[in-house]
Structure 1
Amino acid sequence: MSSKQWIWFYLFTFFMVVLLIWKGGEALKNQQIKTLRMDTIEELNQLANVLESAIAKYQHMPTLLASNDRVKKALRDGFESDINQLNRELEQINRITEASDSYILNADGLTIAASNYGGGSSFVGSNYVFRPYFKDAIAGKPGRYYALGIMSNRRGYYFSYPIYEGESIIGVAVVKVDLTQFEKRFANQNYEFVLLDPDNVVFSGSRPNWVYRVLGELSHEELKRIADSQRYGDKAIEKLAITYQKSFDDQSHIIDILENKNTNNSDNLNRVSYLKMSRPISLLGFQVSILAPLKILNEDIALWRAIFAGGVTITALLFGLAMLRTRMLRERSDANEMTRHNQAYIREVIQNTQAGLVTLDENHKIESFNPAVERLVGQPLAPLVGQPLSVLFRSDGEGFMTSPSDDFFDAINNLGIKVLTREGSLCYFEQAPVPVEMTLCEMQLPNRLSYLVTFHDMTERKRYEQEITQARIDLEERVRERTFELEGANIRLRQEIEEHKGTQRELIQTAKLAVLGQLSAGLNHELNQPLTAIRAFAGNGLKFLDRGQYDQAQTNLQHISQLGHHMSDIIARFKVFARKGDVHQGPIAVQTAIMGAIKIMGTRYKEVDIELVVTEDKGFIVNGDMVFLEQVLVNLLANAADAILESPSHDRRVCIEQKGTDDSVIICVQDTGSGLSDEAVRNLFEPFFTSKSSGLGLGLGLSISQRIIDAMGGQISASNMASGGAEFCVRLPRFQPSSMAYDNAL
């Protein structure tokens, strides 16, 4: 063959080698990408499952909040104390569940309570009526949404649920899940991940500079819809710099993305290749994608090609075969040496281990033992070789084992138990038994069957168990003694409670008598007028009888009878008001209680020229005690009169109004006095606190009134009116005939 032919031969060979290296590299690359794809599928499923399971636990929290009675009460009544307590409960729930935020919206979308009520970015007072999750919930459906928080400026996923009061929706419960915790959790993986919303906008990901980037194209209408919903605030929605995209198979793509090598220089761009795989997250309506970098894979392929090119020559192959043979001989020698070393090492471990080891042959006879067993027994055990295990070990609760195979070995051979453990004692000749834990396992040796028995000394453990048992007995004795002491203290406490109740009843009675004392002058005036009229009618009647004018005399007698009934009614009203007794719940007419209080206080109001305005009877029936409700109203009317008398420049007028809700009735007493001071508002219902002039009150009336209303299941409150003066409101539950019938049936 000529030189030219050799040149062409070498060129052809070189071309074939280069082609083989290139094609082989491509084939290897595709194979490694397939392997990477399989690994990425597992990581993608794991990531999606973690996201779903971590967020799924929050989806039912709004439902639980919506069923909370305190939430409904805060929405219904709007009392500041209820809202403050609800704020604290939401904060505690967030700490326990690790949610981002929890808050309650009223029917107008205004936040009344939130878990972050104390922070600078509190949601309280913010209105979210524009949020889709509010619109869905107020329409009666569970809501879900994802957006950038307006106050917190943090991305999150929102769950909402309507709050019902009967058949009406009075508010919305919302729980926000912060997705940044998942970004931190998966930030240091060997891949990048992105969480795409339904518009293919990156809502969350391991690369912060990819967030709010879109994988695809968005129309002007879609961009406007996103902006109108304020989903991402003022964030600019831009396209991710994808320069190349190719489908690898039905489920994966190879994409190239331009990235900055230096964040300070936007012109220094680097093209990075990724294997992209995606799957939907049905719970969120999102799609999660993993981008596995192909840089290391490409570097491996290039390295493989270099190695392959360097080893294609025949000389390298022959040299490699020679070196391989030499290496095999050396490894065989090293393996034999290692085997001898391992055998010596194992013997040393067995001889020096602290656990007792005994080997048994296939007939369950003692074959060998280590020195630790002799140390446990305290005797040489050479005579026991060839003897059954029962001559050395006895199981707890049994006598000496005469046939161990029936117990231990049958369980291992027939039942498939790999390891069998029993507690017992090592007993040999006259030595004291040594408590041990015995473990029996089967050893499958190449040529025969054998068993390994391990003994662990339990002397210290038994001693600890006895000490623990004694300590438990001592503890139970101390518990019984302490229980006896607590029972005695409980009896004394109940006695003190009964004495306190008696003192409270006496205090209420004292307050009644104090009111009667204040009204005694008016009572005398009320009785003197009919007595004077009776004397006049009686004198005239005698004269009519003397003249024979019997009709006029009969008329005078009728007037005297009516005046007697009037005096009896006045005295009876004060007697009923003054009687002792506990609160007895029952249906009472609100108008009747108001009129009873007016009869008691009417005389005083006439004396001091105070106008008393009572709204028309609305037929309200409440659940309570008539006498005690009259006492509360008399106290409120007396306080109103005192407030007006201390402010003579104001109009002298007291108004009693009745208002009703679905489940309660509100009685309001409004005066035209000078109103309540800040100190009075804070301490108004405390015992012995009074805002009256010195010597005009004990400060017990409102405190007792509050206890009476609490006992009837209601509430009493005070506030200043915008027009001037003070307003005291008593809220009592409406009487429900069905519940009363049920209680009587019970």
Structure 2
Amino acid sequence: MPRLFATFSDWLSSPQRSLDPKRFAWLYVAVFIICLLTLWRGGDALKQQQTQDLAIDTQEQLDQLASVVESVIAKYQHMPTLLASNDRVRKALRDGLPSDINQLNRELEQINRITEASDSYIIDTNGDTIAASNYRLSTSFVGGNFAFRPYFKDAIRGKPGRYYALGTTSNRRGYYFSYPVFEGDSIIGVAVVKVDLTQFEKRFSNQAYDFLMLDPDGVVFSSSRSQWLYKVMGELSHEELIRIAESQRYFDQAIETLPIVSRREYSEHANIIEMLDKVTDNLGNELVERHRYLVMSRPIQLLNFQVAVLVPLTSIEEQIALWRAIFAGGITITVLIFGLAHLRSRMLKERSDAIEMARHNQAYIREVIQHTQAGLVTLDDRYRIEALNPAVETLAARPLSSLIGRPLSDLFQVSEVDRERWMAALSTTSTDSELRLTTVEGKFDIEGADQDVVVEATLCELQLPNRRSHLVTFHDMTERKRYEQEITDARRALEIRVKERTSELEEANQRLRHEIAEHKTTQQELIQTAKLAVLGQLSAGLNHELNQPLTAIRSFADNGLKFLEREKYDQAKGNLQHISQLGHHMGDIIARFKVFARKGNVGHTPIDVQTAMNGAMKIMQPRLKEADIQVDMPDNIQVAVLADMVFLEQVLVNLLANASDAILEAKTSDKRIVIRVQPFYSKVHIYVRDSGTGLSENAIEHLFEPFYTSKACGTGLGLGLSISQRIMDSMNGDLTARNHPQGGAEFCVTLNAYELEQ
């Protein structure tokens, strides 16, 4: 076996046989799956073959059993005919003399002893038994009435009778043959022979199979197992159970169902069932186990019965399980052999790789030590120099071979700052990790050297077998010192530059804050200027709007004086009331313009959209009325937004003013402005659309730029829409424009909706 492992591992480790580990793992998985399928399919095939052979043998045993049952029972079917033709039987039935009956009992007993029948007896026309072969027993049929039995009813009508039942007197199962006893043409009695089936059960009880005899209703009438008696393999209807009970065929026995768990068809004449069987263990405890049987059946024409053979499949299943276990064990052993061989090949390969790697590492380390820029010195346990590499001589700028075997202090002098720590590291025998690696700064101090070289030395302990050793690493500090000084100078220069730049940035920030404050002031002035510009455009309409109430007030005042002179006080009071109403109307107009014209900061409070539209309309009403422009707007919008009332009115006034100018420039007969409000989720959109000619592509591109206007020369400053957009930005809203599909320009004001907290 070791030779086999070595040969197989050599085969695996050979270059042409080396496999990728992943591919090798997949190969193992594939082989394992194939072995499992082979194990499973092979077991099924073997099981199928053995079951088929068992079915052939069972069929032969079934035929033999059926022929034995038929031949044994057939010899009793003519015995009632012979008894019915016996003169002593007719004489006993005719005369009923005790001597004749006693003689008949003895003859019946002798006949049963010779024929090995169970019982023979003679019944009169009333169904009473007058003689029986078991007249000596306590369970004798003599005197018993069997008129209710079907075999008696058939014979008394002149036909041979057959019947099977559980004896009500003997409590033994039997098959009954009957025949009428004739006296001339008259029936004077019935001769009956009962065949006990227990002898067949004993005869076949020690076979390798179990058998069942099923009556026409499917009830087990005879079986090699007593616990299966009076049970059915299928299901009986309620009517069938009632009929069986009324016939007293099975006396007081309960008809139950066999504990069949599953059933499947194996062939045309065979089924495989799984049934629960009660078994007793060594301690006498009753257990329930599942057993599988091969079931085959055939009819017994003579009895109108079915005989079934149940062959346990336990032996086949145990053989299949054993075969599978042996096969699985072989597969496992094979897999283990292959695995061990593969593992050994890997171990050999890893060992070879490790040896090669160690050889390579040693050569690499030697090359590194010889060519590294760091100086390396090894010390013995007394801190004497054992070896050094060429880099140390390069740092010292002279040969140092004469220092071999001398103390390290002849080569290296530690700085005053690190002297105590360095001496503690050299003198300690502790294994503390902090002393195993100690870095200090010092210089080479060699006799006869031209100059000292500042170096950094690192001392570490070497883990060598059976002795203590140290390794000292030297690095030239000249360049590092120079770099550190340059970095220090650069850092100082940078700090000075940062301070200067910070001061400049602070001055720039101060100027920027001042410019932002001026920009805000300028923006407020521009907004106020735009308001005043709108008010200037509306002044003519305002004069007209105020002139009419003033004229009416003068008329009402003159008339009121005349009414007072004529002492018509009621008419004078009415004129004064009209004057008061006109005064209030003029006050509302002036107040709205004063609110619109005042300065203020943007606020974010809940405002009613309908109120803002009504306020803008009051301001624009004189101009719109003068231009004969009709405005279509909703009058009951229940929507609130987060905005500033004055600034929202200013935006709406600007949009209405631009719409009015666009309509007048278009010179169209349809002078109409449409305002609509559309809430959408958390936003509210206010659309203002005119019936003008719309906007050009250039106007849409530059519409919100300051001092850009699409109106005629000398009309407008080009600041209205730019300021309106800034106002919308300050209220976290938006202002957009487009050409409406039905004509004209449409502006959309978008604001955040205000929702009441529930």
1:637 equivalent in alignment to 2:656: yes
Structure 1 pair 477–736 and aligned structure 2 pair: CA distance change class (3 A): farther
Question: Which residue of 1 is the match for residue 31 of structure 2?
Answer: 248
1:508 equivalent in alignment to 2:508: no
Question: Which residue of 2 is the match for residue 492 of structure 1?
Answer: 511
In the TM superposition, residue 630 of structure 1 has moved relative to its aligned partner by: 1.0
Q: 8 Å contact 1:408–1:420 — kept in the other structure?
A: no
In the TM superposition, residue 711 of structure 1 has moved relative to its aligned partner by: 0.7
In the TM superposition, residue 365 of structure 1 has moved relative to its aligned partner by: 2.7
1:425 equivalent in alignment to 2:443: yes
Please identify, of 658-667 and 476-485, the stretch whose mean Cα deviation from structure 2 is larger. Answer: 658-667
1:538 equivalent in alignment to 2:557: yes
1:590 equivalent in alignment to 2:373: no
1:407 equivalent in alignment to 2:425: yes
Unaligned runs of 5+ in 2: 38-358
After superposition, residues 59-208 of structure 1 pair within 5 angstroms as none
Structure 1 pair 652–36 and aligned structure 2 pair: CA distance change class (3 A): same
Question: Which residue of 1 is the match for residue 690 of structure 2?
Answer: 671
1:681 equivalent in alignment to 2:671: no
Q: 8 Å contact 1:374–1:380 — kept in the other structure?
A: yes
Q: 8 Å contact 1:412–1:419 — kept in the other structure?
A: no
1:705 equivalent in alignment to 2:705: no
Kindly provide the CA deviation profile for residues 113-151 of structure 1, in whole angstroms up to 9, marking residues without a partner as x. xxxxxxxxxxxxxxxxxxxxxxxxxxxxxxxxxxxxxxx
In the TM superposition, residue 444 of structure 1 has moved relative to its aligned partner by: 5.8
Q: 8 Å contact 1:390–1:401 — kept in the other structure?
A: no
Q: 8 Å contact 1:687–1:699 — kept in the other structure?
A: yes
Q: 8 Å contact 1:247–1:253 — kept in the other structure?
A: no
Question: Which residue of 1 is the match for residue 179 of structure 2?
Answer: none
After superposition, residues 226-625 of structure 1 pair within 5 angstroms as 247-250=30-33, 355-369=374-388, 373=392, 376-377=395-396, 388-390=407-409, 392-395=411-414, 398-400=417-419, 404=423, 406-407=424-425, 410=428, 413-415=431-433, 421-427=439-445, 433-443=452-462, 448-625=467-644
In the TM superposition, residue 370 of structure 1 has moved relative to its aligned partner by: 5.7
In the TM superposition, residue 31 of structure 1 has moved relative to its aligned partner by: 11
1:722 equivalent in alignment to 2:505: no
In the TM superposition, residue 434 of structure 1 has moved relative to its aligned partner by: 2.6
Kindly provide the CA deviation profile for residues 449-468 of structure 1, in whole angstroms up to 9, marking residues without a partner as x. 43332322221121111111
TM-score by length of 1: 0.52
Kindly provide the CA deviation profile for residues 64-120 of structure 1, in whole angstroms up to 9, marking residues without a partner as x. xxxxxxxxxxxxxxxxxxxxxxxxxxxxxxxxxxxxxxxxxxxxxxxxxxxxxxxxx
In the TM superposition, residue 249 of structure 1 has moved relative to its aligned partner by: 1.6
Q: d(CA) in 2 for partners of 1:250 and 1:30?
A: 25
Q: d(CA) in 2 for partners of 1:427 and 1:503?
A: 78
Structure 1 pair 248–516 and aligned structure 2 pair: CA distance change class (3 A): same
1:657 equivalent in alignment to 2:676: yes
Q: d(CA) in 1 for partners of 2:371 and 2:582?
A: 118
Q: d(CA) in 2 for partners of 1:533 and 1:407?
A: 116
TM-score by length of 2: 0.51
Q: d(CA) in 1 for partners of 2:429 and 2:503?
A: 52
Structure 1 pair 424–671 and aligned structure 2 pair: CA distance change class (3 A): same
Structure 1 pair 614–364 and aligned structure 2 pair: CA distance change class (3 A): same
**SS at 1:646 equivalent:** helix
Q: d(CA) in 2 for partners of 1:448 and 1:411?
A: 12
Kindly provide the CA deviation profile for residues 403-449 of structure 1, in whole angstroms up to 9, marking residues without a partner as x. 73x32575884539876554443345798653213233445667754
Question: Which residue of 1 is the match for residue 709 of structure 2?
Answer: 690
Please identify, of 523-532 and 374-383, the stretch whose mean Cα deviation from structure 2 is larger. Answer: 374-383
* Paired residue type of 1:627: V
**SS at 2:382 equivalent:** coil
Q: d(CA) in 2 for partners of 1:598 and 1:400?
A: 95
**SS at 2:32 equivalent:** coil
- Give the aligned length: 436
In the TM superposition, residue 717 of structure 1 has moved relative to its aligned partner by: 0.5
Structure 1 pair 717–411 and aligned structure 2 pair: CA distance change class (3 A): farther
C-alpha RMSD over aligned residues: 4.4
Kindly provide the CA deviation profile for residues 502-521 of structure 1, in whole angstroms up to 9, marking residues without a partner as x. 11111111111111111111
Structure 1 pair 483–396 and aligned structure 2 pair: CA distance change class (3 A): farther
Kindly provide the CA deviation profile for residues 566-591 of structure 1, in whole angstroms up to 9, marking residues without a partner as x. 11111111111111222122222111
Q: 8 Å contact 2:378–2:469 — kept in the other structure?
A: yes
Q: d(CA) in 2 for partners of 1:475 and 1:253?
A: 77
Q: 8 Å contact 1:612–1:654 — kept in the other structure?
A: yes
Q: d(CA) in 2 for partners of 1:738 and 1:388?
A: 89
In the TM superposition, residue 536 of structure 1 has moved relative to its aligned partner by: 1.1
Structure 1 pair 346–667 and aligned structure 2 pair: CA distance change class (3 A): closer
**SS at 1:407 equivalent:** helix
* Paired residue type of 2:617: I
**SS at 1:519 equivalent:** helix
* Paired residue type of 2:433: L
Structure 1 pair 252–403 and aligned structure 2 pair: CA distance change class (3 A): farther
* Paired residue type of 1:407: A
In the TM superposition, residue 562 of structure 1 has moved relative to its aligned partner by: 0.8
Q: 8 Å contact 2:381–2:470 — kept in the other structure?
A: yes
Q: d(CA) in 2 for partners of 1:352 and 1:621?
A: 84
In the TM superposition, residue 675 of structure 1 has moved relative to its aligned partner by: 1.0
* Paired residue type of 2:500: E
Structure 1 pair 545–416 and aligned structure 2 pair: CA distance change class (3 A): closer
Q: d(CA) in 2 for partners of 1:253 and 1:445?
A: 54
Kindly provide the CA deviation profile for residues 598-632 of structure 1, in whole angstroms up to 9, marking residues without a partner as x. 11111111111111111132221111111111111
* Paired residue type of 2:32: D
In the TM superposition, residue 637 of structure 1 has moved relative to its aligned partner by: 0.6
Structure 1 pair 704–355 and aligned structure 2 pair: CA distance change class (3 A): closer
**SS at 1:439 equivalent:** strand
Structure 1 pair 642–253 and aligned structure 2 pair: CA distance change class (3 A): farther
* Paired residue type of 1:622: V
Structure 1 pair 690–30 and aligned structure 2 pair: CA distance change class (3 A): same
Q: 8 Å contact 1:650–1:673 — kept in the other structure?
A: no
Kindly provide the CA deviation profile for residues 328-364 of structure 1, in whole angstroms up to 9, marking residues without a partner as x. xxxxxxxxxxx9xx99x99999788764443321222
In the TM superposition, residue 722 of structure 1 has moved relative to its aligned partner by: 1.0
Q: d(CA) in 1 for partners of 2:9 and 2:366?
A: 53
* Paired residue type of 1:734: A
Q: 8 Å contact 2:383–2:426 — kept in the other structure?
A: no
In the TM superposition, residue 24 of structure 1 has moved relative to its aligned partner by: 7.5
Structure 1 pair 352–596 and aligned structure 2 pair: CA distance change class (3 A): closer
